[in-house]
């Protein structure tokens, strides 16, 4: 294998691929990136056995071929090369070395044979559809904060991505919950998604996926099977196993009948919650909301540390209500609101509260109150 | 030489018998009224409590420990004469002392008695460092003016009151640091009162074996022996640098201990790090259903202890020992701390479900750590388990019933598995 490639192009491709490589792993080949050159392009493939990323870049290929080198070291070298440099990659298979040359710099890295590199088995996908970066970004960005980190409940360690029935017909939906809060984000069902099986997309995949979605104009081809999901942008393809488990029936826990309605400016609300929570040193800081006729009093009472109170003007016309929440959960849901006011729908101090943006039902959040 | 009668607490100038009550239980020492660091160690604590509560076994050898496969947790002094020791496998203990009465421990009672002893110690000084239920360091420095009596008298009074008011006996070691106090309390057991003064420290230690150092186990002893160190005088011959080179940080400590120096202060209550319970089975168990019953019982015991202490924890640990003695521990951290048996059980059960089954196990334990005050726990409801709130309410109600009518008054069906 012998090729030359522009440094910036190489860096972008390698950095996207190498980030899936598990830093602490005991199998040497999994620390490597597979470089394959053919025709007019070169591809970089990395995997942690659950996720596989393939990045393609344009290159002048003099001699086709493939080899693998340590992903992190390779990435570091490319990162430190001067901007604008032309990089030559030459594989010497008998010596088991890959030479990287740019200007006066020259590096030789040990290689492992490409045959040792695990390539993810291909799957028959049950559904294939196309979406755009902004749509997918909204689905996953607005739900991922609620993903559980509790390893025992592994089926909650991801976003449940599925087709659901809503009042406006079928929608494509992302749901995440850790049992204390829940996010449910809907978008129009793309053509071809009807047959999609519901899958739980792991947390790490959601993080890696984000890198494909930076550019608003990107079209993303999504393929889903019972065991795998694939997101393909023009230059980069991410394939991931999905979590083998059953996502709980979340529809029962979404309180649609809550009647006590409070409307508040989400930004003001978040800042006030953040301020009063400062006095508490507890690990899960409880904030009390006292509501009475267009007035919200936020308070924190930490017997050992101190107390704080702040009053906010809100729209509220129901009977008096006192209810407590984990400050962190309030801040997280409030920060999802970016266009209109936040609307909270309460029931009782012991039952789940619903939050949405204005009257938009396509993104709703449920949060469990906390005893205060 | 100052002297003290441990029966009537009279102080006097040296005599073989107390001039007031004629008791021979006299302690005399040149520094008796100057020393203030003490170690109190109850005598065969669990066994003493059992004998106190059951006069029929008072004159018999008594061993506390569980089951055929368990180990001896305490042996009374009669059983010790036959060679029975703590941590000895039960079958071996019974070979040495077949007539022994084996009693399954009643931890709740021991905890209660320990609290009573603790209350008596609190009257002497706030600086108490418990090492376990039945032993503690006390620093009585500066208390003589408050009590109007030197520490030695107050300590003699403490063990006297333990005997009169609680019905158990203890031994006292009195010295000028923790290391020596701990060694001293062990010298005259039971009902001992030993004093190691500053002036005699070096002579006292000289021919004592280094295994007396608290924290030196068999391995540590072997490595010391290998270096030719058997007694404190052997140890004293070593240069500080040489000890450091050979034993690392421990070497520095050894150098000081060889000279009877110990600068650690008596630390008030070391914070509890975690609460756990475990059980060794009579026979290895592989059945997930049977193990489930044990998970529940251990979770309930841990919850009981957390509730008694008014604390809760965020990390739940499940510990299993396989038939081949391989120890497996799994833990997970909850977003919302708990003290309830229900949540400890369901978390431990989820950890159990993620292990390979079936597998025969000989021991199972459940623990909770990462502790905080109970008012910061179980505050967040569970969206995905709407029944949880009701179950926790039921658990509180059950607790109230058990509190009134005894711990067996009401049980979960699961506990009978």
Mean pLDDT of A265-276: 94
Distance CA A334, CA B89 (A): 61
The pLDDT score that the predictor gives to residue B191 is 93
Contact between chains at A283 and B314 (C-beta distance less than 8 A): yes
Smallest CA–CA distance from B388 into chain A, residue: A179
User: Closest partner residue to B350 among A153, A253, A366, by Cβ?
Assistant: A153
Alpha-carbon dihedral A64, A66, A69, A71, rounded to 10 degrees: 90
Residue B291 contacts A, CB cutoff 8 Å: no
- Spatial neighbors of A39 by CB under 8 A, at least 6 apart, are A61, A64
Q: Which residues on chain B are in Cβ contact (under 8 Å) with A149?
A: 335
Q: Within the 10-49 window of chain A, which residues sit less than 8 Å (CB to CB) from chain B?
A: none
Report yes or no: B210 and B257 within 8 Å, Cβ to Cβ: no
pLDDT at residue A252 tops 80: yes
Q: Between A and B, how many residue pairs show a Cβ–Cβ distance under 8 A? A: 67
Type and span of the H or E element at A357: strand A353-357
**B349: distance to nearest CA of chain A, Å?**
9
Binned at pLDDT 50, 70 and 90, residue B106 comes out as confident
Q: What are phi and psi of A120, to 5 degrees?
A: -65, 135
pLDDT at B215 over 80: no
Torsions phi, psi for B134 (to 5 deg): -115, 10
Nearest to B332 among A150, A250, A284 (CB): A150
Would the pLDDT of B69 be above 90?
A: no
Are B37 and B174 in contact by the 8 Å Cβ rule? The answer is yes
Q: What is the mean pLDDT of residues B213-230?
A: 82
pLDDT at A352: 95
ipTM of predicted complex: 0.80
Q: Give the pLDDT mean for A75-95.
A: 93
pLDDT, position A16:
86
Question: How far away is chain B from the Cα of A4, in angstroms, using its nearest Cα?
Answer: 49
B381: nearest CA partner in chain A: A368
- CB pair distance less than 8 Å for A180 and B389: no
Q: Which of B334, B380, B389 sits opposite A150 (nearest CB)?
A: B334
Q: Which SS3 state, helix, strand or coil, does residue A103 take? A: coil
Contact A277, A327 (CB under 8 A): yes
Q: What was the pLDDT predicted at B67?
A: 62
Q: List CB contacts (< 8 A) between B378 and chain A.
A: 371
- Average pLDDT of chain B, as a whole number: 89
| B380 to A150: CB separation less than 8 angstroms, yes or no | no
**Chain A neighbours among B 375-414 (CB < 8 Å)?**
376, 378-386, 389
Predicted pLDDT of residue A208: 94
Q: How many Cβ atoms are within 10 Å of B12's Cβ, its own excluded? A: 14
CA distance B174 to chain A (A): 38
Q: Is B354 within 8 Å of A152 when comparing Cβ atoms?
A: yes
Taking a contact as any Cβ pair under 8 Å apart, which residues of chain A between 222 and 281 contact chain B?
248, 250, 252-253
Q: What angle do CA B166, B167, B168 make, to 5 degrees?
A: 100
- Residue B44 in 3-state DSSP? coil
Instruction: Say yes or no to pLDDT of B68 above 70.
Output: no
Span B241-275, pLDDT tens digits:
888 888 877 888 899 999 999 988 888 765 678 89
DSSP B225-276: HHTT--BHHHHHTS-HHHHHHHHTHHHHHHHHHHTT-------S-PPP-EEE
Question: Does A304 touch chain B if contact means CB atoms closer than 8 Å?
Answer: no
Q: What percent of chain B has pLDDT over 90?
A: 59
Residue B411 has pLDDT above 70, yes or no: yes
CA distance A223 to B216: 63
Residues of B with Cβ-Cβ distance to A248 under 8 angstroms? 384
Does B332 reach chain A within 8 Å, measured CB to CB? yes
**What pLDDT, on a 0 to 100 scale, did the predictor assign at position B409?**
73
Residue A146: C-alpha distances to residues A143, A209, A212 (Å): 6, 17, 21
DSSP labels for A14-48?
Answer: HHHHHTTS-SS-S-GGGGEEEEEEETTEEEEEEE-
Question: CB-based contact (8 Å) between B280 and chain A?
Answer: no
Mutation target vs A (from B318, B335, B344, B386; most A CBs, 10 A cutoff): B335
**CA angle centred on B269, ends B265 and B275, rounded to 5°:** 135
Say whether residue A284 is in contact with chain B using an 8 A CB cutoff.
yes
Please answer whether residues B319 and B327 qualify as being in contact, where contact means their C-beta atoms are separated by less than 8 angstroms: yes
C-beta atoms of B383 and A368 within 8 A: yes
CB spacing of A284 vs B389 below 8 angstroms: no
DSSP assignment string, A123-158 = ---SEEEEEEHHHHHHHHHTTGGG----GGGGGGSE
- Whether the pLDDT of residue B379 is over 70: the answer is yes
Average of per-residue pLDDT across A264-291 = 91
Q: What is the pLDDT of residue B417?
A: 67
A152 touches chain B (CB under 8 A): yes
Which residue of chain A comes nearest to B330, CA vs CA? Answer: A152
pLDDT value, residue B342: 95
Q: How far apart are the CA of B367 and the nearest CA of chain A, in angstroms? A: 16
> What pLDDT is stored for residue A285 in this prediction?
86
Which pLDDT belongs to residue B16? 86
What's the whole-number mean pLDDT along residues A243-271?
94
A138: left (phi over 0), alpha (psi -120 to 50) or beta: alpha
Task: Tell me the three state secondary structure of residue B301.
Answer: helix
Measure the CA–CA gap between A90 and B58, rounded to whole angstroms.
88
Task: Kindly tell me if the per-residue pLDDT of B309 is higher than 90.
Answer: no
Mean pLDDT of the region B162-178: 95
Active site positions of B, annotated: 135
Task: Check whether A158 has a pLDDT greater than 80.
Answer: yes
Angle, vertex CA B138, rays to CA B132 and CA B139, nearest 5: 150
Confidence label for A245 from pLDDT (cuts 50, 70 and 90): very high
The CA distance from B343 to the nearest CA of chain A, in Å, is 13
Whether the pLDDT of residue B404 is over 90: the answer is no
**Percent of residues in chain A assigned helix, strand, coil, to nearest 5:** 20, 45, 35
* Partners of residue B337 in chain A, C-beta under 8 Å: 283-284
- 3-state DSSP call for residue A304? coil
Q: Is the dihedral of CA A262, A266, A268, A271 positive or negative?
A: positive
Which residues in chain A have Cβ-Cβ distances shorter than 8 Å to B332? 150-152
B376 pLDDT more than 90: no
d(CA A14, CA A57): 10
B61 conformational bin, left if phi > 0, alpha if psi -120 to 50, beta if neither: beta
What per-residue confidence (pLDDT) applies to B7?
A: 92
pLDDT on residue A237: 95
Distance from CA of B379 to the nearest CA of A (A): 5
Residue B90 has pLDDT above 90, yes or no: no
Q: What percent of chain B has pLDDT over 70?
A: 98
Q: What is the Cα–Cα distance from A123 to B204, expressed in whole angstroms? A: 79
């Amino acid at each position: 294998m012998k090729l030359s490639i522009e440094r910036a192009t190489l860096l972008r491709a390698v950095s996207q691929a190498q980030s899936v490589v598990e830093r602490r792993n005991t199998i040497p080949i999994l620390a490597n990136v597979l470089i394959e050159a053919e025709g007019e392009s070169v591809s970089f493939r990395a995997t942690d056995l659950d996720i596989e990323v393939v990045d393609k870049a344009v290159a002048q290929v003099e001699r086709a071929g493939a080899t693998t080198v340590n992903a992190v070291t390779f990435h570091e070298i490319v990162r430190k090369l001067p901007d604008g440099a032309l990089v030559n990659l030459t594989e010497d298979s008998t010596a088991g070395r890959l030479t990287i040359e740019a200007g006066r710099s020259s590096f030789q890295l040990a290689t492992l044979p490409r045959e040792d590199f695990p390539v993810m088995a291909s799957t028959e996908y049950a559904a294939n559809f196309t979406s755009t970066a902004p749509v997918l970004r909204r689905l996953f960005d607005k739900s991922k904060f609620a993903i559980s980190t509790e390893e025992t409940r592994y089926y909650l360690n991801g976003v449940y991505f599925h087709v659901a029935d809503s009042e406006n017909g079928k929608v494509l939906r992302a749901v995440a919950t850790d049992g204390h809060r829940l996010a449910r984000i809907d978008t129009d069902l793309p053509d071809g998604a009807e047959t999609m099986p519901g899958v739980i997309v792991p947390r790490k995949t959601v993080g890696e996926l984000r890198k494909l979605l930076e550019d608003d104009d990107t079209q993303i081809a999504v393929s889903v099977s019972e065991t795998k999901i694939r997101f393909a942008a023009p230059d980069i393809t991410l394939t991931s196993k999905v979590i083998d488990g059953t996502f709980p029936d979340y529809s029962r826990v979404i309180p649609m009948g809550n009647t006590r309605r409070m409307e508040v400016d989400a930004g003001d609300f978040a800042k006030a919650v953040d301020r009063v929570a400062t006095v508490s040193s507890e690990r899960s800081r409880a904030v009390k909301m006292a509501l009475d006729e267009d007035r919200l009093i936020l308070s924190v009472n930490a017997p050992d540390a101190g107390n704080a109170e702040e009053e906010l003007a809100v729209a509220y016309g129901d009977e008096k209500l006192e209810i407590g929440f984990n400050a962190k959960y309030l801040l997280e849901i409030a920060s999802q609101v970016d266009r209109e006011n936040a609307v909270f729908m309460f029931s009782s101090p012991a039952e789940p509260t619903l939050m949405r943006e204005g009257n938009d039902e396509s993104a709703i959040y449920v949060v469990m109150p906390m005893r205060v | 030489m100052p002297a003290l009668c441990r029966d009537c607490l009279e102080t006097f100038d040296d005599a073989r018998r107390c001039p007031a009550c004629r008791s021979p239980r006299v302690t005399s020492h040149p520094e008796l009224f100057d020393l203030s660091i003490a170690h109190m160690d109850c005598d065969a604590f669990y066994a003493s409590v059992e004998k106190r509560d059951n006069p029929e076994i008072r004159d018999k050898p008594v061993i506390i420990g569980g089951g055929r496969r368990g180990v001896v947790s305490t042996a009374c002094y009669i059983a010790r004469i036959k060679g029975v020791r703590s941590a000895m496998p039960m079958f071996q203990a019974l070979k040495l002392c077949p007539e022994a009465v084996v009693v399954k421990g009643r931890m709740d009672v021991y905890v209660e008695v320990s609290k009573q002893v603790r209350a008596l110690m609190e009257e002497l000084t706030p600086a108490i460092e418990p090492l376990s239920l039945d032993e503690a360091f006390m620093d009585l420095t500066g208390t003589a003016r408050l009590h109007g009596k030197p520490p030695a008298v107050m300590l003699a009074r403490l063990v006297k009151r333990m005997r009169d008011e609680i019905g158990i006996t203890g031994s006292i070691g009195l010295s000028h640091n923790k290391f020596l106090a701990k060694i001293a309390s062990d010298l005259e057991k039971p009902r001992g009162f030993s004093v190691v003064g500053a002036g005699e420290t070096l002579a006292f230690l000289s021919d004592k074996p280094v295994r007396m150092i608290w924290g030196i186990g068999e391995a540590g002893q072997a490595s010391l022996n290998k270096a030719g160190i058997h007694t404190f005088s052997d140890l004293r011959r070593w240069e500080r640098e040489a000890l450091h080179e050979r034993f690392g940080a421990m070497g520095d400590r050894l150098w000081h201990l060889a000279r009877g120096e110990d600068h650690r202060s008596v630390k008030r209550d070391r914070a509890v790090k975690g609460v756990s319970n475990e059980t060794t089975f009579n026979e290895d168990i592989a059945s997930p259903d049977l193990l489930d019953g044990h998970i529940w019982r251990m979770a309930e015991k841990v919850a009981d202890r957390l509730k008694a202490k008014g604390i809760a924890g965020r990390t739940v640990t499940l510990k299993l020992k396989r038939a081949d003695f391989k120890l497996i521990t799994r833990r997970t951290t909850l977003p919302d701390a708990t003290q309830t048996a229900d949540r400890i059980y369901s978390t431990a059960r989820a950890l159990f479900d993620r292990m390979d089954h079936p597998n025969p196990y000989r021991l199972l334990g459940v623990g909770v750590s990462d502790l905080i005050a109970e008012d910061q726990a179980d505050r967040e409801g569970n969206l995905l388990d709407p029944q949880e709130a009701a179950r926790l309410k039921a658990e509180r109600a059950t607790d109230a019933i058990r509190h009134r009518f005894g711990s067996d008054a009401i049980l979960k069906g699961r506990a009978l598995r």
